[in-house]
Amino acid sequence: MVNQVPQADGTWQSCKSDSSGAGTSGGESSKESSRCSTPVLDADRSDRLRDKMRRRIESGDHWFSLEFFPPRTAPGAVNLISRFDRMGSGGPLFIDITWHPAGDPGSDKETSSMMIASTAVNYCGLETVLHLTCCSQGKDKITAYLAKAKHLGLKNIMALRGDPMGADWDDEEGCFNYAGDLVKHIRSEFDDYFDICVAGYPTGHPEAESYEEDLRHLKEKVAAGANFVITQLFFRAETYLKFLDDCRAIGITCPILPGIFPIQGYQSLRQLVKLSKLVVPEEIMEVIEPIKDNDAAIRNYGIQLAVEMCKVLLESGKVPGLHFYTLNREVATMEVLRQLGLWIEDPRRPLPWAVSAHPKRKVEDVRPIFWASRPKSYIYRTQDWDEFPNGRWGNSSSPAFGELNDYYLFYLKSKSSKDALLEMWGEELKNEASVYEVFTCYITAQPNRNGHKVMCLPWNDEPLAQETNLLKDELEKVNRRGVLTINSQPNINGKPSTDPIVGWGPPGGYVFQKAYLEFFTSSENVSALLEVLKKYEPRVNYHIVNVHGRNLTNAPDMQPNAVTWGIFPGREIVQPTIVDPVSFMFWKDEAFALWIEQWAKLYEDESPSRMIIKYIHDNYFLVNLVDNDFPLDNCLWRVIDDMFEQLDASSKSTCLQVSSSV
C-alpha cells in the first residue's frame, strides 16, 4: 500500500505503512522506469529460479522440489512424462534430472538426461535443474552439453563431480576433477545465464579428508558461483541442522536445501546406502529388518519417518524448502507432502492452456485453439519459432509449423497400449456408425458395447475436460448422428477469473469466451451445413476443410478470431486463444493424420475396419464454428439442428420426386 502523504507545501513525506498491502505494489514512476512487455499474468514465469527462491524465502512460503532419474526405455519415458504432469500438479518449485554418464546422457535419445529435462521444461512447463557431472569429461564436451542445454531452454544446472570411472581418477588432463571447477567453467563460458546448484554433504563427502575440509570445499564451490545447495540424504534432522549451522558459521549464505529420502523399500534403501556410502542408523534398521519383505509396511514406516523429520526441519525456521529423492515413484513422496500440507493442487491456471517453461516462450500468451487437447504437440511444432505471439497473434506468425514427419515421437503417442486402444475403439468396426458410437461413448463416459470405457480418442489423450462437460448432453446428441466432435468450448460472458471451471489468470478479473465447436463430418452433412450457415451471417464464422486442403471460410480478411479473453485489474486485455485461419491448415494435416496413424493402423492392412477409418479420413470434412455473439445463448447447436432438418427435408423431397415419377 502506498502511503506517502502529501503535505500542504506540496512536498511528500514518507511514512511506514502498517497495512500489509498484499496483492498490490506501490511505486514511483519516472521516465526511466523499466517497462514490461508482457501481461505477466504469472509473475513466476519470467523469474529465474534464484528469484523464485528469494521471493518464497521472503514471504516465508515453504516449497518442495523433486528429483527424478532418466528412464531406461521409451515406454518408461512416456510413463515418466505423465508422472511429471501428475506430480507437477502439486506445485513443486522445481524438479531435477540426474545425469547418467553410462546412458549417453547428453544425446538426443528420448531417454537421455538431456531430453528428459528438456521435455520437463518445454512440454510439462516445469522449472527444471539438469545434473551435469564433470569427472573424466573434456572441457569441450562439457561446454557443448551446456550449450545444448541452453538451446533447449534449460536454465539451471546441478554441478557435480560424479563418480570416477576407474580407480585412478586424479587430475586427468584437460578434464575437471572437482565440481568447483565445473562451476567456474560454467560461469566463465556462460556468464550468469545458468542458475547453479551444488551438492552438500551433511556428514562430509565420503572421500573428503575431514568434515571441516569438506565444508571448506563447499564454501569454495559456492564462492565459484553456485546459487544454492542441495544436500545428500540424511536420516536425522539434527544431522542437517548441525551441517546448516556449520555452513553458516563459515560464511555460506545461499539457500541450503535438505535432501529428503522417504524409505520406500528394503532393496532401494540398501542400494542407495551402498552408493552414497551412508550408514543407516541402528534404530531405523531395527524397525525395517523384521518387515523387510512387506513393501507396504516399509513404505508406511518410511512415510511416517520422513514426515516427522520434515516437521522438525520446517519448525526449526531454518529450512525454506524440502528436496525429495523420489526414485521416480509417486506415492510415498506425495503422501509425505500431503501430510506436511505442502502438496497444493492449485486449480488456478495462469492461462487456459498449459504453459511451457522455455525462456524463449516466456512472453507467449496467444495460441490457436486447435491444439487445446494436444498442447505438447503444439509446443513441439512451434519449437523452432524465434518469437512467440505476445498479446496478439498479429503478424508475428506467418506461422511455420514443424512438419509432421516426426509426429510419431514418443511424447505424441497415446499413453495407452495398442490392446487398450482396441478395447476402447473396437476390435472390429462394422461401418461409420461404429465410429460414431466410439465418439459417443467417449463423450458420455459410458462403457462401449463390450463393456470398456472410452477414456481417450486420437485427438484427446485424456477424458473429457470439466469445461467440455458443460456441453455434454448436446455433444452426445450430435455425435450419435455423425457430427464427430474433437474440440469445443461454451460461451462465457464475464465469469470471475477465479471460477473453478472456466477461470484463469489472476484473481479480480473476468473471463470471456465465444462458443466454439470443431468436428469431422460427412460431405453430405457439409453440403447441408453450408446452406444453413447463410442464415447465420455474420454471427457464425466457419472454416471447412477436407484432407485435400480445400478451405471454405467466411473469416474476414483471413484474420484471427479471438475466442477466449480476460480482463484483469490494471492490465492490458489478454486473449490467449484464437481461431486462426492460417494455423488451421496446419492443424488439419495433424487432425486428419491422427485418423490413420492412431486409429487405422491398429487394424490389419486391407481389413474392413481399417478401410472404414480410411474412408472417413478421405471423405469427411473438418469443420470449425465460432458463435461471435458471446452474450447470447450459444447458437451452434441450433446450426447443427438446422443442418439435420435441412438433410431430412432434402431426402424427403428426393423421395417425393421419386414417387411422383414412378
Active site residues: 67
Residue (16 or 550) nearer to its own copies, CB: 550
Q: How many CB atoms lie within 10 A of CB 214?
A: 20
Take residue 262 and report the three cell numbers written for it: 522417504
On the CB side of 660, CA atoms within 13 Å amount to 6
Kind and range of the H or E run holding 2? none
> In which residue are the cell numbers 465410429 written?
435
CA separation for the pair 361, 46 (Å, rounded): 9
Nearer to its own copies, 304 or 619 (CB): 619
Name every residue whose Cβ is closer than 8 Å to that of residue 561 and which is 6 or more positions away in sequence.
Answer: 514, 541, 555, 578, 579, 580, 626, 628
What number of CA atoms fall less than 13 Å from residue 557's CA on the CB side?
2
Whether omega for the bond prior to residue 506 falls within 30 degrees of 0, making it cis, is no
Question: What is the Cα 340 distance to its own chain's centre?
Answer: 24
When the beta carbons of 198 and 363 are compared against its own copies, the nearer one is 363
Alpha carbon 493 to its chain centroid, in Å, reads 28
Gap between the Cα atoms of 239 and 216, Å rounded: 18
Residues 6+ apart with CB under 8 A from 44: 52
b/e burial code for range 113-143 (CB count within 10 A of at least 16 → b): bbbbbbbbbbbbbbbbbbbbbbbbbeeeebe
β-pairing verdict for 540-546 and 5-6: unpaired
**DSSP for 289-337?**
GGGTT-HHHHHHHHHHHHHHHHHHHHHTT--SEEEEE-TT--HHHHHHH
Comparing CB distances to its own copies, the nearer of 254 and 530 is 530
Cell of 615: 474412408
Residue 466: which residues within 8 A CB-CB, separation 6 or more?
A: 501
Cβ-based nearer residue to its own copies, 231 or 397: 397
Residue type, 157: I
Compare residues 317 and 631 and give the one whose CB is closer to its own copies.
631
Burial of 344 (0-12, 13-18, 19+ CB in 10 A): exposed
Cell of 13: 513525506
H-run or E-run covering 254: none
Select 31 or 449, whichever has its Cβ closest to its own copies: 31
- Quote the cell numbers at residue 182: 565445473
CA 502/CA 509 separation, integer angstroms: 12
> Which residues have a Cβ under 8 Å from the Cβ of 436 and sit 6 or more positions away?
479, 480, 481, 482, 484
- For 179, the grid coordinates are 565440481
Those residues with Cβ within 8 angstroms of residue 432's Cβ, 6 or more apart along the chain or in another chain = 482, 522, 612, 615, 616
Q: Tell me the Cα Rg of the chain.
A: 29
Is the Cβ–Cβ distance between 50 and 195 less than 8 Å? yes
Task: Please return the burial class of 6, using the count of CB atoms within 10 Å of its CB with bins 0-12, 13-18 and 19+.
Answer: exposed
Which residues, in sequence order, are CB contacts of 4 under 8 Å at separation 6+?
12, 13, 14, 15
**∠ CA 344-465-460, rounded to 5°:** 115
